[in-house]
Amino acid sequence: MKLIRHGERGAERPGMVAPDGTLRCLADVIGDIDGAALAPAALDELRDIDPATLPRVPDNTRLGACVGRVGQLIGIGLNYSDHAEESGLPIPTEPIVFLKATTSIAGPHDALILPPTAQKTDWEVELAFVVGTRAQRVSEADAMKHVAGYCIVNDVSERAWQAERQGQWTKGKSHDGFAPMGPWLVTADEIADPHALHMTCDVNGDRRQDGSTATMIFGIPELVSYLSAFMTLEPGDVVTTGTPPGVGMGMRPQVWLRDGDVMRLEVAGLGQQETRVRVDAA
């Protein structure tokens, strides 16, 4: 299944993508695409619904982030061997973990509004997995049982705040709008191998990132097991798993997002998102 959230920001309603590509509303069936809706039994109930019986979402309706009420948005840094190489950094021996504020979550086509103090804002196309059942100190062998599905996240990063200010990466990753998510959540049963997905990011029509999840250093089972040893993962939590090479920081000379730029991200099987950059002059 492909699950969506549609409507104005803060008032999104749940829905699904029908086999014919139309968007259908689930508001009369469930409250939201959140942890409760992503439990295995709840997903099975949604699979039994004939999308043709659901109201059609009007054309041109805004799509919100495909997961609602996210408790934790967790990022993994330098998780692609070729991205670590372009960054001139050693391959990590264990996952680099940071948090993105949940207030950074945005819809897949919402404008990215940069604050006037942003100097070096960068793009990062990423595969994210969404937790479906509580994970606490789970083994790698059991890890995939806890994954409800997958979606695209653009891990937008203000590199000056991330690397040139004291403290951790979180503040460079967490401004409002720094996590466009979606367009939809694809349930795990529809993705045969999440470690073999082509992923791209174009900026103003120029291909910047062209990679594959095959170059991940730490795969999803290892990430679930590793994270759950340090923190409990709850249903609806989102973990974004790192980016392939081609980010602006790795270019020579370096290139940063500017007013009017358009980012177009795609991951095989997970759809596309397009985001236009605006600068807040206030």
Structure token digits, residue 125: 């196309």
DSSP code of residue 63: B
Q: What is the pLDDT of residues 197-248, one digit of tens each?
A: 999 999 999 999 999 999 999 999 999 999 999 999 999 999 999 999 999 9
Beta bridge partners of 8: none
Task: Determine how many CB atoms are found less than 10 A away from the CB of residue 276.
Answer: 14
Structure token digits, residue 255: 């290139």
What is the per-residue DSSP string for 85-137?
HHTT-PPPSS-EEEEE-GGGEE-TTS-EEE-TT---EE--EEEEEEE-S-BSS
pTM for the structure as a whole = 0.97
Please give the distance of CA 43 from its chain centroid, rounded to a whole number: 20
Write the burial class of residue 88 (CB in 10 Å: 0-12 exposed, 13-18 middle, 19+ buried): exposed
What pLDDT is attached to residue 282? 65
What pLDDT is attached to residue 273? 98
Angstrom distance (rounded) from CA 25 to CA 46: 12
Per-residue pLDDT tens digits of the chain, which is 282 residues long? 999 999 999 999 999 999 999 999 999 999 999 999 999 999 999 999 999 999 999 999 999 999 999 999 999 999 998 888 887 878 999 999 999 999 999 999 999 999 999 999 999 999 999 999 999 999 999 999 999 999 999 999 999 999 899 878 999 999 999 999 999 999 999 999 999 999 999 999 999 999 999 999 999 999 999 999 999 999 999 999 999 999 999 999 999 999 999 999 999 999 999 999 999 876
H/E stretch holding 220 reads: helix 220-230
Domains belonging to the chain, first-starting first, are 68-279 (3.90.850.10)
- Amino acid (one-letter) located at 246: G
- Check if the beta carbon of residue 172 is closer than 8 Å to that of residue 155: no
Contacts of 209 (CB under 8 A, 6+ apart): 123, 124, 125, 199, 200, 201, 243, 244, 245, 246, 247
DSSP code of residue 140: H
Question: Where does residue 143 fall: left (phi above 0), alpha (psi -120 to 50 degrees), or beta otherwise?
Answer: alpha
Radius of gyration over alpha carbons of the chain, in Å? Answer: 18
